């Protein structure tokens, strides 16, 4: 495999780092399983999205420049979040970066990938030969779907798993209502949108709702817990890694 000699770095989003480390670990295990040894740069922090999303682009800029400095020298950067990847790929240009950072960005933006996309396109893995019993509803996270064009990657990877029944609810491509800073500024509205999403997944008979972003799932999980709904959330990478027994 051509990737064998290339340097693959992990980018672990700030909330994954603190709240969902097992998603990061699932990514590491999957990469190793497919013969890629990812490098974890421990001085990494946040891509800057929360700040930019909140109108604090001024504060996002140093973080973006820091990100680019840290990851410039890698052949690939893989992150378990479509949202952060989209920030780097599509929005860093809006931050007024220094000329040097802009040059770095031109390199980095083509090398950063969301996990399922990386596994599907760069590793050429289109099926997971593992087993995970359960009915799983897909939530197509907005930034992954609309900014990165992620569509068939998680679908084919997940639906190839033995005993996993993947359901795509009619509103799979609609927003879960998280929206980062929006969920704090307009909590009731954010919750109302999320509950619609959960209701639709539940009415499809799903026990689990999955996505390629823990940010959406964190919000949906919080709702499901507080409202005592009969559904759990699990990142697509975690399902894949469990299916392969990588624990």
Partner 1 sequence: METTTQTLKANIRSALNNDRLQAAVLKATNHSLAKRAEVVAELPNWEAMRSEAALRRDRTLTRLDDTLLELEKNATAKGIQVHWVADGEEANQIIGQICREAVSGSETTSTKGEVVKPLIAKSKSMTTEEIGLTPFLESLGFEVVETDLGEYIVQIAGQAPSHITAPALHLSRQDVGRIFVEKLGVEYREDPVELINIARGILRQKFLSAQVGITGCNFAVAETGTPLIVENEGNGRLVSAIPRVQIAVMGIEKVVATLDDLMLLLELLPRSATGQRITGSVIFFNRPSSSRESDGPRELHLVILDNGRTKALADPKLRAVLRCIRCGACLNACPIYRTTGGHAYGWTYPGPIGAVLAPVFLGLEKAKDLPFASTLCGRCSEICPVKIDLHHMLLHLRQEIVAACPQPILEKVMWQTWETVMDHPALNQALAAIPRFLLHEVLRSHWSPKLPLWGRDRSSPNLAKESFAQMFKREFGEHK
Q: Please give the residue ranges that form the binding site for partner 1 (CB under 8 A).
A: 12, 14-22, 24-25, 28, 39-43, 45-46, 50-59, 62-63, 66, 91, 94, 142-143, 146-147, 174-175, 177-196, 218-219, 221-223, 225-227
Least spacing, CB of residue 195 vs partner 1, in Å: 8
Nearer to partner 1, 46 or 164 (CB): 46
Least spacing, CB of residue 226 vs partner 1, in Å: 4
Nearer to partner 1, 20 or 118 (CB): 20
Nearer to partner 1, 135 or 146 (CB): 146
55: left (phi over 0), alpha (psi -120 to 50) or beta: left
Least spacing, CB of residue 153 vs partner 1, in Å: 18
Sign of CA dihedral 135, 141, 142, 144: negative
Q: Which structure tokens are listed for 246?
A: 């990588």
Which position has the token pair 């740069």?
41
Nearer to partner 1, 1 or 192 (CB): 192
Helices (H), 87-165: 99-108, 115-117, 142, 148, 152-159
Least spacing, CB of residue 2 vs partner 1, in Å: 22
Per DSSP, the three-state class of 24 is helix
Per DSSP, the three-state class of 233 is strand
């Amino acid at each position: 495999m051509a990737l064998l000699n290339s340097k693959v770095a992990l980018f672990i989003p700030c909330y994954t780092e603190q709240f969902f480390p097992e998603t990061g670990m699932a990514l590491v295990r999957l990469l190793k399983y497919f013969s890629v040894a990812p490098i974890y740069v421990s001085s990494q922090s946040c891509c800057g999205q929360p700040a930019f999303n909140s109108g604090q682009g001024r504060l996002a800029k140093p973080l973006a420049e820091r990100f680019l400095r840290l990851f410039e020298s890698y052949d690939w950067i893989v992150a378990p979040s479509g949202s952060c990847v989209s920030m780097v790929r599509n929005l860093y240009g809006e931050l007024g970066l220094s000329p040097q950072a802009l040059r770095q960005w031109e390199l980095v933006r083509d090398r950063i990938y969301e996990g399922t996309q990386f596994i599907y396109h760069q590793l050429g893995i289109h099926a997971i030969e593992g087993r995970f019993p359960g009915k799983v509803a897909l939530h197509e996270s907005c930034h992954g779907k609309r900014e990165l064009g992620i569509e068939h990657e998680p679908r084919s990877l997940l639906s190839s798993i033995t005993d996993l029944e993947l359901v795509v609810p009619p509103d799979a491509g609609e927003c879960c209502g998280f929206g980062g800073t929006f969920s704090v500024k307009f909590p009731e509205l954010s919750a109302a949108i999320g509950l619609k999403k959960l209701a639709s997944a539940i009415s499809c008979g799903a026990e689990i709702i999955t996505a390629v972003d823990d940010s959406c799932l964190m919000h949906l999980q919080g709702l499901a817990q507080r409202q005592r709904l009969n559904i759990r959330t699990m990142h697509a990478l975690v399902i894949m890694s469990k299916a392969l027994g990588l624990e």
